[in-house]
Structure 1
Amino acid sequence: MPEGPYRWFVYAEIALAVVTFVALLFIVAPYGGRHGRAGWGPTVPARFGWVVMEAPASILFVVFYLLGSNRFEPVPLLFLALWLVHYVYRAFVYPFLMRSGSRMPVLVMLLAIGFNLLNAWVNARWISEYGSYPVAWLGDGRFWFGVVLFAAGLTLNARSDRTLRLLRRSGDGYRIPQGGGFRYVSSPNYLGEMIEWTGWAIATWSLAGTAFALYTFANLAPRAFANHRWYRDTFPDYPPERRALLPFVL
């Protein structure tokens, strides 16, 4: 990793992962929906909040990526494509498929913007400037294993989102989701995202990617546990064999 400020941004993201994990073990983030509650200041429509807070992860990532001297190399371009597949969906597709009416605290939106700015800088600069990805990297097992994990996680994430979305469209209030990853865990959408960015960390074989994977776990694992508790408290007939996050384990 290069000397200078860049490495401290990477270390800052790792430190932020630790702080976030500890904080979310005690505080359930009020993103809206089942965990929405008063006391977090002004709010905005959740759809608007999602677009605003996730857009920097795609738009600014491209800007930072284009600053790199390796921006036109094949492997960095493939990494750029992987990143955009996730974040274009997350910022410009997913919010418009959400149930309307829920709201998000402005504070949560601003915190997410700050993280996405840091994370976009750290990862974009690595893949297009500081990392070394010759064409031969396409023949490395780490690259393909990581890409397969990324694709599997993205598929699980998107399909789980769709299952939840169809339940909410029924108009019958909250119900127990069934099928797909929900047969095994309460939050397969979160598990899918963790698998995605673990795949990214392996495919890029970088501390920058590892920092993002760690932060994803730190942010989503406590939320998965909170969802699991909510389901079990809300539905007396909730499947007892279903785990919070890891099938058959946790």
Structure 2
Amino acid sequence: MPSVEEAEEPCLWLWLRLFSVPCLVTVVLVGTPPGRWFVRNRFRWPVNNRIGWCLKELPSLLIPIWHLSGQTGPLLRPPLLPLSLFAAHYFQRTFIYPLRMSADSARPLPYILMAAAFTTWNGQLQSLAAHRCPADSSDTYTTLHAVGAVIFVLGAAINIDSDQRLLALRKPGGPRYCVPHGGFFEFVTAANYLGEMIEWWGYALVSWTPAALFFALFTTVYLTGCAAELHEQNKARFGAEYPRERRRIVPFLF
């Protein structure tokens, strides 16, 4: 008889497919759902920006911590490394990043609930899959662990640096939109998205599970669509002021 975890994983895969496939189709055919939805519904069930951001990211922090709490030994040993990296990312996104966000803006409640549903399903799926990753039978680090961890840290550094540069532009009384400069913004429009994509491909290598690979692919497709739309918006908004040599999300290529 299958365990609760073995019975639960197919259900999580089904829910993720039901959520992610329409989401990706919408991004490709229509554009970025959250941004468009926010503009049209900014006065409907608004939630403080910081609180809303924290609530939508929190499940992907609490769920892996709950799974890790039942483990013994160092959290960075090979079997637990994927889940530890996953939790570290969401700790930064849940508690550190929101502190620098504007407290005056708001997000619509339906968007927060949809995002929280995804982070809940994905957090549980990644946690269940991490317990059965191929490296779990040994406490020996592999090449995938080393390469994936380096890629993850590189992506996290790009993501955090880019977020800081964007947040520094939003000064009280200053212009609402400014052209970001420095770091990977010298190469691409969406440097923060690029960093997050790199993070999750590093995580996928460390974990080497279908769930992690699916999440990396989903993030890549979704954020590439977001970056393409943002790139066109910036070119229209800033005109000749916007650097022509910048690509959307992949330096020198796309």
Q: What is the TM-score with the length of structure 2 in the denominator?
A: 0.87
C-alpha contact (below 8 Å) 1:31/1:108 kept by paired residues: no
User: What is the distance in 1 between the residues matched to 2:98 and 2:72?
Assistant: 31
For the pair 1:29 / 2:33, whether they are aligned, the reply is yes
Question: Which residue of structure 2 aligns with residue 188 of structure 1?
Answer: 191
Q: Deviations over 1:119-167 (max 9, x none)?
A: 1111111223x334134541x1111111111001000000000000111
Residue identity over aligned pairs, in percent, reads 30
Match of residue 249 from structure 1: 253
Distance of aligned partners of 1:173 and 1:3 in 2 relative to their CA distance in 1, 3 Å threshold: closer
Q: Does 1:52 align with 2:62?
A: no
AA partner of residue 224 (structure 1) = A
SS state of the match for residue 39, structure 2? coil
- The structure 1 residue matched to 2:209, chosen from 206, 209, 230, is 206
> d(CA) in 2 for partners of 1:49 and 1:8?
27
Q: Which runs of 5+ in 1 are unaligned?
A: none
Which secondary structure state, in structure 2, belongs to the residue aligned with residue 246 of structure 1? coil
CA shift, 1:249, in A, is 1.4
Counterpart check, 1:72 vs 2:72: yes
- Distance of 2:190 and 2:217 partners within structure 1: 18
The letter for the 2-side match of 1:153 is G
Report the Cα distance in structure 1 between the residues aligned to 2:14 and 2:105, rounded to whole angstroms: 35
The match for 1:43 is 46
Query: CA 1:108/1:218 → structure 2, altered by over 3 Å: closer, same or farther?
Result: farther
Match of 1:228 in 2: 231
- In structure 1, the partner of 2:179 is 176
Structure-1 residue corresponding to 2:91:
88
For structure 2, list consecutive stretches of 5 or more residues without a partner in the other structure: none
Counterpart contact for 1:187–1:244, Cα < 8 Å: yes
* 1:195 Cα deviation after fit: 0.6
TM-score normalised by length of structure 1: 0.88
Count of residue pairs the alignment pairs up: 242
8 Å Cα contact 2:61-2:91 kept in structure 1: yes
